Structure 1
Amino acid sequence: MTETRRVVCWRHGQTEWNAEKRFQGQTDIALNERGLAQARRAAPLLARLRPDAVVSSDLSRAATTAQVLGSETGLAVTLDKGLRERFGGEWEGLTTAEIRERWPEEDARMEPPGGEDISAVGERVQDAIERGLALVPEDGLLVVVGHGAALRAGINRMLGLPPDRRQVLGPLGNCSWSLLGPLRAGGWRLLEHNAASLPEKRTLSDDR
């Protein structure tokens, strides 16, 4: 049977640190009221896609977002530490302005001192997605709930983009998602990115 599984990569809702433009990393910050409202708006849309499994980062902002979808669909949420956000080292808790002032060169390269290598982040996120895919049938849909930088790193790796092209994909907004589907020749392609409306149904024949 031809592989037709799809993956939705869904970023968590807003937190106070998001609103304050602070680097969160692996600091466990909860959703604020707006973030919870964002999750409650998005969950019914994603539920209409009839997901087969929901896998989430164990950090509370992602896990809470995922649980809203779990409640909407009746699916249990599986937590996976491999989906955690990139560890930000000395940048965690600092605002964008503070980071740019203190570490202008590192900021330009997006390399936080003492932080996690972005290639390693992409590898662990891809591994977590592969674990999640084992939970869905060959024609199923997996929803992965995580964090902006980590999900982009994982998507980049799944698409085979080299490290120097990692900025090709724009950021994911709070409670927005990307949709990945299979290539005929193997591997993955990006079907939707930074979406906040219902992804369109697509088939392999759309390549023709």
Structure 2
Amino acid sequence: MEEVTRLIAVRHGETAWNVDTRIQGQLDIGLNDTGFWQARRVGQALAHEDVGAIYASDLSRAWQTAQEIARPHGLAVQPEPGLRERAFGHFEGMSFAEIESTLPEQARRWRERDPEFQPEGGESLLVFRERVTRIASKLAARHPGQLVALVAHGGVMDVLYRAATRQELQAPRTWQLGNAAINRMLWTPEGFSLVGWSDTAHLAADDDVLDETTT
């Protein structure tokens, strides 16, 4: 009988650019004060889970969040560049409003989730999905029967949710991708399945947790 790998997927805590609705992509933006608070809270929430390994995007906002999750377990976070956010190329550093006003046709294709649309210097959704599902499967396969934490970004969470629920890239998003929310999945060689999504009980003291999904 196959041993299932249990996965906890966590989006990084808040950054100043989340607040400004500015595209971070693969730019290395760290957490703001709220983000550090969220990271500590998610670390506390997971302190008594039997986490066997923690992998994180090597971008600061995810790495800083993962350190707080790792602290109670005495584990070293393992960097995984494959868990980075989607590369947005020349969109990076721009706000949503700036993209809409200066690049309306590209903004439309992005907004409509055109799977083949690739911002100049960036990744298409098709390429991004292949990267995320491949690396997440590779990491999960290393730890059959264990609980593994993956700390990454909103776009990565979106890809994992779609993989676990068998939804197409262009399906409208009806699920939350909040900062520092706890998301649970299972993995077998047949793929991902969903256990629970967007648990934010540990953030109840914060009424302003953003759900900025693309940065």
Calculate the TM-score normalised by the size of structure 2.
0.82
> Residue 170 of structure 1: CA displacement?
2.7
User: 5+ unaligned residues in a row in structure 1: which ranges?
Assistant: 199-208
The separation in 2 between residues aligned to 1:93 and 1:71, in whole angstroms, is 31
Match of 1:194 among 191, 195, 198: 198
Task: Work out whether 1:170 is the aligned partner of 2:175.
Answer: yes
Amino acid at match of 1:147: H
Residues 71, 188 of structure 1: CA spacing in aligned structure 2 closer, same or farther, 3 A cutoff?
Answer: same
Residues 182, 61 of structure 1: CA spacing in aligned structure 2 closer, same or farther, 3 A cutoff?
Answer: closer
> Residue 171 of structure 1: CA displacement?
4.0
Amino acid at match of 1:126: T
Partner residue of 1:17? Answer: 17
> Residue 75 of structure 1: CA displacement?
1.2
The separation in 2 between residues aligned to 1:48 and 1:108, in whole angstroms, is 45
Amino acid at match of 2:129: G
Partner residue of 1:122? Answer: 129
Residues 13, 120 of structure 1: CA spacing in aligned structure 2 closer, same or farther, 3 A cutoff?
Answer: same
- 4+ residue runs of structure 1 moved beyond 6 angstroms? none
The separation in 1 between residues aligned to 2:118 and 2:101, in whole angstroms, is 13
- Match of 2:183, SS? strand
The separation in 1 between residues aligned to 2:75 and 2:17, in whole angstroms, is 29
Residues 78-93 of structure 1 aligned to structure 2 (within 5 Å)? 78-93=78-93
> Residue 186 of structure 1: CA displacement?
4.0
Residues 50, 22 of structure 1: CA spacing in aligned structure 2 closer, same or farther, 3 A cutoff?
Answer: same
Q: Give the aligned length.
A: 195
Residues 144-163 of structure 1 aligned to structure 2 (within 5 Å)? 144-163=150-169
> Residue 160 of structure 1: CA displacement?
3.5
The separation in 1 between residues aligned to 2:28 and 2:131, in whole angstroms, is 19
User: 5+ unaligned residues in a row in structure 2: which ranges?
Assistant: 111-116, 203-215
Amino acid at match of 2:158: R
The separation in 1 between residues aligned to 2:60 and 2:80, in whole angstroms, is 12
Structure with the higher fraction of residues in helix conformation: 1
- Match of 1:143, SS? strand
The separation in 1 between residues aligned to 2:197 and 2:105, in whole angstroms, is 29
